[in-house]
Amino acid sequence: MTMELEASSRHYWDRTWSRFLRHQGMIAPSSKLVQQMIPHLQRHARVLDLGCGEGRNTIYLSRVGFHGVGLDLSRKAVKMLANNLFEEEVRGQGMVGDARCLPFRTATFDGVLAHHLLDHLDGQGFAAAMAEVGRVLKPRGVLLLTMGNFVHLRDGREVTCRDDGSIVFTSGPNKGMLVRPYQDAALSDLGRQGWQVLKDELTPRGSKIMLLRRLEAAGTDVARS
Ligand SMILES: C[S@@+](CC[C@H](N)C(=O)[O-])C[C@H]1O[C@@H](n2cnc3c(N)ncnc32)[C@H](O)[C@@H]1O
């Protein structure tokens, strides 16, 4: 990602979360989705909510008995998470950080949730984030990911389409947002790159849901798309 694109993406998310903070309360957690991880985790497991936003799922993870850690690029989002943790009186942690270069030691987490985070990274970012998730997960840890197809956004709005399949909005309310619809080839490659596919589904709206288990020792090379 160029520095300019990087800055506009960060600005987009800060602006989005500031607006959200002004106009809405916390939205409901994706409990049905998150429950898909639960049978694969021990009680008190450490679970990273990557690209956590205001932390609705970090809080849910903490409520159902895990140690939830939310990480997001947006300072505004993480501030909201800190407030929400305090208000909801649940233990958990929020951190500002970048999914492409995680501030955690190798093999720190038993589970990682990446709910509509990987589809906001470009091709290189996706590869870097998957490598980082593989590194910070303990061997046999699980990753639950969702990625959109964004067909509803491809209707001639002002966008720039990049060679790696990512789309950047150049005007309108989504100005600065980068999306990259999931790519079947890259996702089916994960099975050959140290991930066991436990679940591979499409939602009625065309988003991909995958539950993956990390098979190899942490720190080995994983997906490059
Ligand atoms: C569509 S929102 C999803 C929020 C949350 N996962 C949820 O389901 O409520 C995408 C989130 O990813 C964050 N994000 C985008 N790029 C990121 C990166 N490189 N590292 C960490 N977070 C990032 C954004 O700030 C935003 O909060």
Greatest Cα pair distance in the chain: 47
In the prediction, which pLDDT does 17 show? 87
CB 219 within 8 A of CB 137: no
Here the tokens at position 114 are 């990446």
Predicted confidence band at 224 (pLDDT cuts at 50, 70, 90)? very low
Alpha-carbon distances of 59 from 35, 191, 207, rounded to whole Å: 13, 30, 23
In the prediction, which pLDDT does 4 show? 79
CA dihedral 97, 102, 103, 106 (to 10 degrees): 160
Domain boundaries, the chain: 3-25+33-214
Using most ligand atoms within 8 A of CB, pick from 3, 13, 96, 145 the residue to mutate for ligand 1. 13
Predicted confidence band at 218 (pLDDT cuts at 50, 70, 90)? very low
Indicate the average pLDDT of the chain: 90
Which residues are bridge partners to 114 per DSSP?
145
In the prediction, which pLDDT does 24 show? 66
CA of 117 to the centre of ligand 1 (A): 5
In the prediction, which pLDDT does 173 show? 84
CB 81 within 8 A of CB 14: no
User: Domain 3-25+33-214, CATH 3.40.50.920 — does that match?
Assistant: no
Using most ligand atoms within 8 A of CB, pick from 49, 73, 104, 136 the residue to mutate for ligand 1. 73
Point out the ligand 1 atom lying closest to the alpha carbon of residue 56.
9
Predicted confidence band at 223 (pLDDT cuts at 50, 70, 90)? very low
Q: Which residues, other chains included, contact 20 with Cβ-Cβ below 8 Å and sequence gap of 6+?
A: 54, 80
CA of 120 to the centre of ligand 1 (A): 7
- Separation of alpha carbons 130 and 21, rounded Å: 30
Predicted confidence band at 9 (pLDDT cuts at 50, 70, 90)? confident
Instruction: Name the nearest CA neighbour of 82 among 61, 110, 44, 54.
Output: 54
Predicted confidence band at 181 (pLDDT cuts at 50, 70, 90)? very high
CA 55, 126, 53: angle at the middle one, nearest 5?
Answer: 10
Which residues are bridge partners to 137 per DSSP?
109
- Separation of alpha carbons 51 and 16, rounded Å: 14
CA of 35 to the centre of ligand 1 (A): 20
In the predicted model, is pLDDT for residue 113 greater than 90?
yes
17-43 pLDDT, tens digit per residue, is 888 776 666 789 999 999 999 999 999
Pocket of ligand 1 (CB under 6 A): 13, 51-53, 56-57, 72-74, 77, 98-100, 115-117, 120-121
- Separation of alpha carbons 33 and 13, rounded Å: 23
In the predicted model, is pLDDT for residue 154 greater than 80?
no
